[in-house]
Amino acid sequence: MGANASALEKEIGSEQFPVNEHYFGLVNFGNTCYCNSVLQALYFCRPFREKILAYRSQPRRKENLLTCLADLFHSIANQKRKVGVIPPKKFITRLRKENELFDNYMQQDAHEFLNYLLNTIADLLQEERKQDKQNGKLANGTLDSQNNNSTPPSSTWVHEIFQGTLTNETRCLTCETISSKDEDFLDLSVDVEQNTSITHCLRGFSNTETLCSEYKYYCEECRSKQEAHKRMRVKKLPMILALHLKRFKYMEQLQRYTKLSYRVVFPLELRLFNTSGDATNPERLYDLVAVVVHCGSGPNRGHYIAIVKSHDFWLLFDDDIVEKIDAQAIEEFYGLTSEISKNSESGFLLQRHLTHTPPHPSKPTLAGLHAAVTLDAMQSQGLLNVTGGRMSEEVPVSPSWLAQEPTWGSSGAGSIENITVGTYPPAVVLPARPPAELLVNPWDIVLCSSGTLIACENALVVLVIWQNPALRAPMFLLIGSLALADLLAGLGLVLHFTFAYLLRSDSAQLLTVGLVVASFSASVFSLLAITIDRYLSLYYALTYNSERTAAFTYTMLVLLWGVSLCLGLLPVTGVNCLGQEANCSVVWPLTKNNVAVLSVSFLLLFGLMLQLYVQICKIVMRHAHQIALQHHFLAASPHYVTTRKGVSTLAIILGTFAACWMPFTVYSLIADYTYPPLYTYAMLVPATYNSVINPVIYAFRNQEIQKALWLVCCGCIPASVAQRARTPSDV
């Protein structure tokens, strides 16, 4: 993201870059683009953002979806960098935990998510206000338990920002009596037609409907069913107007839902005309501030992006990618002029912000940030400002969000009715969904495959050493420790994949991360212990096989596993970045300080290993030179060649270790959680390969282990293996 961030800052310009503004992309955690696009739209809805940040500054409460959202917004707003990437891991985890509808890796409906999020926040605020009132009454000793539950829920700042009021007018054609009923709404859902505009769609929303035949209206004045006219008008305009364009329709002849990629123009400014006579400030003008766009050819495939207006320019947010676009680029998301099915990028959710009201002698001028959002079912969803962007790779999308929920007005047979317009908060209908079709990150598949190979290789080494009593020398104990550590590391990678995609469990994932940290730490420490053992076997050749050496080996094993277990327990015992995304490292949920300590420790261990291997090479070369002088060997003799081969082997061993771990170590020191996950995967995968290579270098090359393997596998030892002499290259 570094290059992209620099490009965005350069394009905006340091002088034009808004003060105290941050443009951060959001990491996609498996088809969470529907969530990322809506969150970006909400973040750039200034009234909503200010309320969320103000809530974050209040005394901490029990973790819920609102606190997670507040932590995410606070993390973005308090970044030192102006642009970058943030992983909304905590928010996504809480969302999936609280609502099974989103607890999978399938694409979801952005409008459905927005509706659920706003309703949940409002419910939480009302519940907190109720609890605060109860606590206050308890403190004063005035709690009335009988009347406590009879108090209607009070309005919250969610209502203040997004809630408007519709009036449903019905006029009896016999007695001309007009009856009306008010209904609150958070967003308006409108049908779409080819080559039209938002204004035309809104006019259709408020068209007069005749109630006749079996649908006659029961008139209280006439005391009988009469023909009547029915229409919907806006009585109270919201501060932020959210519009949802219904772009999916069930086709009887096809027996499935299809996407209506109709061209629907949405202007940058909008004035609602379909207001009731007693509407407050009917001349309000709305500015477009955000659009959530669905890119794709149908309801089963697609990708969501967000276009938002920040200050005087437009930005496109495509998960972790942020780009500046021209206002003219918004026209690309109007839809297609042809009805032929093809890939399309079209507005689904539109957010408009109320900017001003024309001066009027009897009405004060209103000022504030107002937005309008138009939501198009499976076409384009968004809340705030949306700019243009690029077509993203399509991913499978679940059509199950196409729930038949009641809406006001007729939308035609088979059209999608996926917004409830009624008394706020409207009920959130959770439709039955088919089993989740898991969409897995390819990098996680690579890590899981590597873990499987690592576990199989090292399990064989551990089994051979465990079953063969002859392999109890200090060297074999250390090789067994290395194999056990790598075996646990492989199992940790497999378990991480299992708990992330198959058996979702946050606590289990936390334990898995601890297991991976502990096992890889033990692996590196075991490599250091093997290096120390090799050095001692050469430097103290005469006393190496004493009991003192065995005791020293056991001491090293206890220390290395004790330290490794402590490092692995840190994330589990609370040393993690859960709830504090700003402190996250490139490896979630490890903190930056935690990873920095691990990286610096690795560099120190690598330096020590390098020094020991240099000393080993010096000892081997010195011994070879002494033998040559005693037996008058030439420099080109086989003994010298074998010695040089042994030194080359040591160089390969150390070089392989450095090549596997050094890139990830350096990257962990300089990078943080804002870097794209692609970079982290690209650095982490080679590090895991070191555990694949370790059995080959340290176990399978050993003559004694080779013999044991032949006995286990074939029941005999080949003569070539049994008679092979030990050479300096085996060091």
Give DSSP secondary structure letters for 689-711. HHHHHHIIIIITT-HHHHHHHHH
The residues, ordered by sequence, that sit 6+ positions from 295 with a Cβ below 8 Å of its Cβ are: 302, 303, 304, 305, 343, 344, 345, 380, 391, 392, 394
Whole-number pLDDT of residue 59:
82
| 391: its two tokens | 């077509």
Whole-number pLDDT of residue 23:
92
| 434: its two tokens | 């088919």
pLDDT at 39 over 70: yes
**Distances in Å between the alpha carbon of 420 and those of 137, 266, 425?**
36, 23, 10
Mean of pLDDT values over 110-134: 89
CATH for 2-130, options being 3.40.50.300, 3.30.565.60, 3.40.50.1370, 3.90.70.10: 3.90.70.10
Amino acid in position 94: R
pLDDT band at 392 (very low <50, low <70, confident <90, very high): very low
Q: Which of 103-112, 232-241, 539-548, 573-582 has the highest mean pLDDT?
A: 232-241
Higher pLDDT, 649 or 714: 649
Q: Which residues are catalytic?
A: 33, 303
pLDDT at 101 over 90: no
pLDDT at 5 over 80: no
Whole-number pLDDT of residue 724:
52
Whole-number pLDDT of residue 376:
35
Higher pLDDT, 350 or 622: 622
The residues, ordered by sequence, that sit 6+ positions from 708 with a Cβ below 8 Å of its Cβ are: 464, 465, 467, 468, 470, 471
Instruction: Compute the distance between CA of residue 372 and CA of residue 272 in angstroms, rounded to an integer.
Output: 11
Mean of pLDDT values over 440-456: 88
Amino acid in position 611: Q
Q: Which of 264-268, 310-314, 584-588, 704-708 has the highest mean pLDDT?
A: 310-314
Higher pLDDT, 47 or 386: 47
Q: What are phi and psi of 471, to 5 degrees?
A: -95, 65
The residues, ordered by sequence, that sit 6+ positions from 38 with a Cβ below 8 Å of its Cβ are: 110, 113, 114, 117, 292, 306, 349, 381, 382, 383
- If one counts every other C-beta atom within 10 angstroms of the C-beta of residue 641, the result is 12
Whole-number pLDDT of residue 95:
93
Whole-number pLDDT of residue 124:
92
Whole-number pLDDT of residue 19:
86
Whole-number pLDDT of residue 443:
84
Mean of pLDDT values over 272-292: 73
Whole-number pLDDT of residue 66:
93
According to CATH, the topology of domain 442-730 is: Rhopdopsin 7-helix transmembrane proteins (1.20.1070)
Whole-number pLDDT of residue 632:
57
465: DSSP letter: H
Instruction: Compute the distance between CA of residue 258 and CA of residue 378 in angstroms, rounded to an integer.
Output: 9
Segment 630-685, tens digit of pLDDT: 655 555 555 555 556 656 777 787 888 889 999 999 998 888 777 777 888 888 89
The residues, ordered by sequence, that sit 6+ positions from 218 with a Cβ below 8 Å of its Cβ are: 224, 225, 226
Instruction: Compute the distance between CA of residue 127 and CA of residue 125 in angstroms, rounded to an integer.
Output: 5
* 3 state SS of 574: coil
Kindly tell me the burial class for residue 352, based on how many C-beta atoms sit within 10 Å of its own C-beta (0-12, 13-18, 19 or more). buried
pLDDT at 502 over 80: no
| 678: its two tokens | 């692609």
Whole-number pLDDT of residue 118:
94
Instruction: Compute the distance between CA of residue 106 and CA of residue 115 in angstroms, rounded to an integer.
Output: 18
CB half-sphere exposure, 639, CA atoms < 13 A: 16
367: DSSP letter: B
422: DSSP letter: S
Amino acid in position 329: A
Higher pLDDT, 652 or 91: 91
pLDDT-above-90 percentage for the chain = 20
Higher pLDDT, 550 or 308: 308
pLDDT at 378 over 50: no
Segment 307-360, tens digit of pLDDT: 999 888 899 999 989 999 888 888 777 766 554 444 445 444 555 555 544 333
* 3 state SS of 231: strand
With beta carbons less than 8 A apart as the criterion, state whether 291 and 380 touch. yes
Give the DSSP H or E segment for 209: strand 209-211
Instruction: Compute the distance between CA of residue 452 and CA of residue 686 in angstroms, rounded to an integer.
Output: 15
Higher pLDDT, 707 or 128: 128
**Least confident interval from 53-62, 349-358, 385-394, 710-719:** 385-394
Segment 131-154, tens digit of pLDDT: 888 777 555 555 444 444 444 456
Give the DSSP H or E segment for 639: helix 638-670
Segment 476-501, tens digit of pLDDT: 888 889 999 999 999 999 988 888 77
Whole-number pLDDT of residue 54:
93
Segment 10-29, tens digit of pLDDT: 888 878 888 889 999 999 88
What superfamily would CATH give domain 158-167+183-208+235-401? Cysteine proteinases (3.90.70.10)
pLDDT at 555 over 80: yes
Whole-number pLDDT of residue 414:
31
Whole-number pLDDT of residue 451:
92
Whole-number pLDDT of residue 580:
65
b (16+ CB within 10 A) / e for 23-49: bbbbbbbbbbbbbbbbbbbbbbbbbbb
Whole-number pLDDT of residue 385:
30
pLDDT band at 619 (very low <50, low <70, confident <90, very high): confident
Looking at every residue in the chain, the average pLDDT score rounds to 74
Q: What are phi and psi of 85, to 5 degrees?
A: -135, 140
pLDDT band at 186 (very low <50, low <70, confident <90, very high): confident
* 3 state SS of 400: helix
Whole-number pLDDT of residue 213:
87
Whole-number pLDDT of residue 36:
94
pTM of the model: 0.54
**Least confident interval from 30-39, 96-105, 389-398, 648-657:** 389-398
Instruction: Compute the distance between CA of residue 24 and CA of residue 76 in angstroms, rounded to an integer.
Output: 7
Does residue 425 have a cis bond before it (omega within 30 degrees)?
yes
Segment 302-315, tens digit of pLDDT: 788 999 998 888 99
Give DSSP secondary structure letters for 466-518. HH-TT--SHHHHHHHHHHHHHHHHHHHHHHHHIIIIIS--HHHHHHHHHHHHH
| 143: its two tokens | 């709690």
pLDDT at 87 over 70: yes
Mean of pLDDT values over 289-307: 79
Whole-number pLDDT of residue 405:
31
Instruction: Compute the distance between CA of residue 579 and CA of residue 74 in angstroms, rounded to an integer.
Output: 11
pLDDT at 698 over 90: no
pLDDT band at 375 (very low <50, low <70, confident <90, very high): very low
Strand partners, 86: 26
Instruction: Compute the distance between CA of residue 407 and CA of residue 396 in angstroms, rounded to an integer.
Output: 28
CATH 3.90.70.10 in the chain, residues?
2-130, 158-167+183-208+235-401
pLDDT band at 537 (very low <50, low <70, confident <90, very high): confident
Higher pLDDT, 135 or 65: 65
Q: What are phi and psi of 282, to 5 degrees?
A: -65, -15
pLDDT band at 543 (very low <50, low <70, confident <90, very high): low
The residues, ordered by sequence, that sit 6+ positions from 702 with a Cβ below 8 Å of its Cβ are: 479, 730
The residues, ordered by sequence, that sit 6+ positions from 547 with a Cβ below 8 Å of its Cβ are: none
Give the DSSP H or E segment for 657: helix 638-670
